[in-house]
Structure 1
Amino acid sequence: MGYKATITEIGPMVQDFIGENMIIIFDNNAPDALRDMAVLHSIEEWERDITIGDELVVCEKRYKVTAIGNEANETLKTMGHCTLMFNGADTAQLPGHIELSGDGLPDLSVGMSIEIIYS
């Protein structure tokens, strides 16, 4: 493992975005205007940038990284921010997206982790 973060807060609008197969994540220092729509977390470990083929584990559910937007690693590293898209796309829809394939959506819970297992 090379990236690990613990979920500290789940905004009240997060369920709306999960219905669209996406989760927006931010470090605990997210702007107030974005906290309601985000899963907030504290980054505990960062080894290197995420690449296609890495495995993302969200609340113990595993997903394969299929595409990464050209800004996703930088914003994740500096602000703990990106948008996780659970659609298996092989091209990122937006610069801050990380596209993922896997079965179903994670059951989010405060105290659970978001981890990257590098390939």
Structure 2
Amino acid sequence: MTISLNTRVTAVGPEVADLAEGGVVILFADGSPSELAEVSVLHAITAEPSAEAPVTGATISIGSLEAKITSVGASAWQKVLDIGHVVISFNGADNAERPGEICASEVDTEVLVAQLQAGANIIIRA
């Protein structure tokens, strides 16, 4: 098993639940500007991310929730490596609409919201 990303949630912005109910999660590394923190899941990477972007079919888990990656935008992984930022859309799309987006299979958004808690692990693995 190859781990592409292993990170721990440190804080959840007050507007995250609203976005997650729509199937969107925005990750930003700790230390992001406060206006971004309001809509973001802040995290601290616990192991160096892989240099290679995850592939379609890789698993993304947030706490106990799991989904399959369906598409990776052209610049999404570089943003993870550079600033710990990515938008994850749980929409099942075969092609990411935005270059900084990772798309994953649809999930129960109530479960997604419940898993977005400080201390939860977010892991992408193939």
Common fold by TM > 0.5: yes
- Counterpart residue identity of residue 19, structure 2: F
State whether structure 2 residue 54 is matched by structure 1 residue 50.
Answer: yes
State whether structure 2 residue 86 is matched by structure 1 residue 97.
Answer: no
- What is the correspondence of 1:26-105 to structure 2 with a 5 Å cutoff? 26-45=28-47, 46-48=49-51, 49-105=53-109
TM-score by length of 1: 0.92
Aligned residues: 118
State whether structure 2 residue 114 is matched by structure 1 residue 112.
Answer: no
Gaps of 5+ in 2: none
- 8 A contact 2:76–2:99 mirrored in 1: yes
Partner of 1:23: 25
- 8 A contact 1:85–1:99 mirrored in 2: yes
TM-score by length of 2: 0.88
- 8 A contact 1:25–1:38 mirrored in 2: yes
- 8 A contact 1:6–1:42 mirrored in 2: yes
Which 4+ runs in 1 deviate beyond 6 A? none
